[in-house]
Amino acid sequence: MNERFYPRSAVAFVTYPERTGTYLAIVHPTRGMECPGGKLENGETAAEAVVRETLEESGAIVLAIRELHTSVIGPSDRTGLMYRCTGILCEMVSPPLGLAEYKTAAWRIRDMPTAHERVGYFYSSCVEAL
């Protein structure tokens, strides 16, 4: 079988231990509130990518627990590419320190950002797997 190549990306669904049903979000300057995540670096797994991206974007240290869902999403506004994206459930080990790339926020599942039409199905599928 000849499977089409898509660059890989990963998104972290990070739980707040003291707040049931509340997840970490970053506040991106143009896309608004979303889960931390990004492209996988060469040789990196989706779990490794979400740990690294969450630290870079929010300053939080997380532990990857399990894969939630994988699907092809896009095209990206920035690159025009489609991505094979994997959602990973993560547990917060150390909270955001405020020294990261973006501001952070907490959001509840019912307030999940679905405004991004191209990733709405991906987010919904990940939430169903929580």
Contacts of 125 by beta carbon, 8 Å cutoff, 6+ apart:
68, 69, 71, 87
- pLDDT tier for residue 3 given thresholds of 50, 70 and 90: low
Instruction: Output the CA torsion sign for 5, 6, 8, 12.
Output: negative
Name the residue ranges covered by the structural domains of the chain.
Answer: 8-128
Q: What are the CA-CA distances from residue 12 to residues 3, 28, 108 (Å)?
A: 25, 15, 14
Beta strand residue intervals within the chain, DSSP E: 8-16, 19-28, 32-34, 37-39, 61-73, 83-94, 103-108
Q: Is the pLDDT of residue 16 over 90?
A: no
Q: How many residues does the chain have?
A: 130
pLDDT at 24: 87
pLDDT at 1: 40
Share of the chain above pLDDT 70, in %: 85
pLDDT at 115: 47
With H, G, I as helix, E, B as strand and everything else as coil, classify residue 85.
strand
Tell me the CATH number of domain 8-128, given options 3.90.1170.50, 3.40.50.300, 3.90.79.10, 3.40.1210.10. Answer: 3.90.79.10
Mean pLDDT of the chain: 82
pLDDT at 95: 85
- pLDDT tier for residue 109 given thresholds of 50, 70 and 90: low
Tell me which of 34 and 67 has the higher pLDDT: 67
Span 64-87, pLDDT tens digits: 999 999 998 878 777 888 889 999
Query: How far is residue 105's CA from residue 35's CA, in Å, rounded to a whole number?
Result: 10
